[in-house]
Structure 1
Amino acid sequence: MKRKEAPDRFFDEADLLPLSRLADLEFCERRAALHLIEMVWEDNVHTAEGAVIHQRAHGDESPEKRGGLVIVRGLWLRSLRLGLSGKADIVEFHRADDADAMGAVIPGYSGRWMVYPVEYKPGRLRHQRSFQIQLCAQTLCLEEMLRCVVQEGALFYGKNRRRQVVRFDDQLRRETEETAIRLHELVRSGRTPSARYEKKCDSCSLMHLCLPKVAGAGRSVGSYFARMLAD
C-alpha cells in the first residue's frame, strides 16, 4: 500500500465535524441531522453504557510503556482533508523496523512505530459497519497526521471483553471517505430528513424525540396526538 500524498484541498478548522457522527450517519441519516443540525441529544441505556466504557478506556491519559509497545489514551485526531476531528480511545504504537517506511515517527521516541487504533464499544462483539467506518476515519486522521500507513485496528466490545480486528482495505477506506462527504453535505443542507420507522429505531436514544412511527405513517404530530387523545 502506497503512502498517501498530501491533499490539495483542506477544510478550515471551524468546519471540522465530529468523526463519531459518521457512525450516526451510517446508522440513520435523521439521527445524524438531529445531533448536528438541531443539536438534539438524549441518553438511554446504550449511550450511558457507551459513556462508561469510554471513560474506562481513556483512564489515565499519560502514555503507558511496555517494552516495544506504547499505549496512548484519549488522543485527539483530525483530518483537514476529510474535515473531521475527534478523540481516539486508544492508539497502540508497536516498535517496527527502522527501515519500514509504513511506520510512524513519534516525537520523543527513536525509530519507527506501527500504529494500531482501538475503539471501545458497549455490548457484545458483533459486525456493525458503522463502527468500522468510525474506526477507519480515525485511521485516516492518524495517517494524515503522522505520515504513515495503518493496515489494521480493532473494536473492543466491553460486554464480553473481546477484540474484533478491522482491516482497512480499499473498500472500507472508500466507504469512509464517501460517508465523510455525505456528512458535510447533510450539514450544509441544513435539512433534517423525515423519519421512517425501522426495527433499529427501538434501540435509538432519540426514539421519543424523533417519533418515527408518527412521521413514518405519514401523519402529522398534531393528528397523532388528536388520535391518541380521542382513544
Structure 2
Amino acid sequence: MYSEADLLPISALQHLAFCPRQCALIHLEQAWDENLYTVRGRLLHERVDTPGMERRRGVPTEFGLPLRSLALGLAGRADAVEFTAAGPCPVEYKLGRPKKHDADRVQLCAQALCIEEMTGRSVPVGALFYATTRRREEVPLGEALRGRVRELALALHALLDAGVTPLPEFGPHCRLCSMDNLCRARALGRGRRSVARYLARARHDEPPGDEQAGGAPPEPSPQGRARRTRPGQKPQED
C-alpha cells in the first residue's frame, strides 16, 4: 500500500503507456507544451470536469468525481461515473477518434480499479466517448488490461523514483505529440544512431569518415528533479 503522499496522477499512467519519455518530461521535468489537439482536449474537459450529479437517460451520473487507489498509488478525477443497476461505469471523454495504442483504455481501467477499491463494487466495463466521431465505445475491463495497469503503475513509481528521463525513440507516435519540440526525438534519435555507428567503427580501428553527418550526438539524458506532479497539478488528464 502507498501513502497519500506517494499518490501519482492517473494521467501520468496514460502518458507512460503512450511514451515513457513523454511521461518523464511532463512529470519529472515539469515540461509542458500544447498544440491544437491538446488545447481542444483541455476545452472539452473543462465542460465535463465540473463536479456535480445529474440524470442522463435516467441514469444517475457523477461528473468530476475524485478517485484514488492506495494499492496502485494513483489518484485523479473521473470525467463521469454512471451508477447503473449493474454497477458503476466510468466514462472518459476524449478528443479525436479511437486509437491503436491502449493508453486511453489503460487510463479508463485505472479509474475503474480506483472505484472498486473505494466502493467495494465490481466495475466490469467502462466507456470511452470520442468527440470527433461522437461515438461511445464500451471497454470490457478484463484481467489482461487490469494486469497491464498494475504493471504500468509499478513502472511509473520506479521511473519517477529514479528521476532519469529516458532517451528518445522516434516513431510514428511522435507525429502528433504536443511535446515534439521539447523532446527532439527526430534530431536526437538520428544522432544516437550515428554515434553507435561511430563507436562500432572505432572499436575496429577504422576511421569514422562522415558517419556523423546524419545528426549531432545525443545530449546527455536530462536529470529530472525528483519532484512529482501531484494529483490536481498541471498538466491535466487528456
2 CA distance for matches of 1:206 and 1:67? Answer: 39
Q: Residue 208 of structure 2 corresponds to which residue in structure 1?
A: none
Out of 68, 75, 82, the residue aligned to residue 78 of structure 1 is 68
User: Could you tell me whether the CA contact under 8 Å between 2:2 and 2:72 is conserved in 1?
Assistant: yes
Q: Which amino acid aligns with 1:43?
A: E
2 CA distance for matches of 1:12 and 1:52? Answer: 32
1 CA distance for matches of 2:175 and 2:164? Answer: 23
Question: How big is the alpha-carbon RMSD for the aligned residues of Structure 1 and Structure 2?
Answer: 1.6
Q: Percent identity?
A: 43
2 CA distance for matches of 1:37 and 1:126? Answer: 26
Q: Which amino acid aligns with 2:112?
A: T
2 CA distance for matches of 1:14 and 1:62? Answer: 27
Q: 4+ residue stretches of structure 1 with deviation over 6 A?
A: none
1:115 and 1:215, CA in 2 relative to 1: closer, same or farther beyond 3 A? same
Q: Which runs of 5+ in 1 are unaligned?
A: 1-9, 97-113, 223-231
Q: Which amino acid aligns with 1:163?
A: R
Instruction: Encode CA deviations 1:10-41: one digit per residue, 9 max, x unaligned.
Output: 21111111001111111110000001111101
Out of 84, 90, 94, the residue aligned to residue 117 of structure 1 is 90
1 CA distance for matches of 2:70 and 2:114? Answer: 8
2 CA distance for matches of 1:30 and 1:62? Answer: 35
2 CA distance for matches of 1:87 and 1:195? Answer: 30
Q: Which runs of 5+ in 2 are unaligned?
A: 193-215, 220-238
Q: Residue 4 of structure 1 corresponds to which residue in structure 2?
A: none
User: Could you tell me whether the CA contact under 8 Å between 2:66 and 2:78 is conserved in 1?
Assistant: yes
2 CA distance for matches of 1:201 and 1:128? Answer: 13
1:220 CA drift (Å): 3.2
Q: Residue 211 of structure 2 corresponds to which residue in structure 1?
A: none
1 CA distance for matches of 2:8 and 2:133? Answer: 31
TM-score scaled by length of structure 1: 0.80
Q: Residue 172 of structure 2 corresponds to which residue in structure 1?
A: 199
Q: Which amino acid aligns with 1:199?
A: P
Instruction: Encode CA deviations 1:169-221: one digit per residue, 9 max, x unaligned.
Output: 01000011111111011001100001121121121111011111221112336
Relative CO higher for 1 or 2, CA cutoff 8 Å, sep ≥ 6? 2
User: Could you tell me whether the CA contact under 8 Å between 2:68 and 2:76 is conserved in 1?
Assistant: yes
Provide the aligned length of Structure 1 versus Structure 2: 195
1:67 CA drift (Å): 7.9
Q: For 1:77, what is the secondary structure of its paired residue? A: strand
TM-score scaled by length of structure 2: 0.78
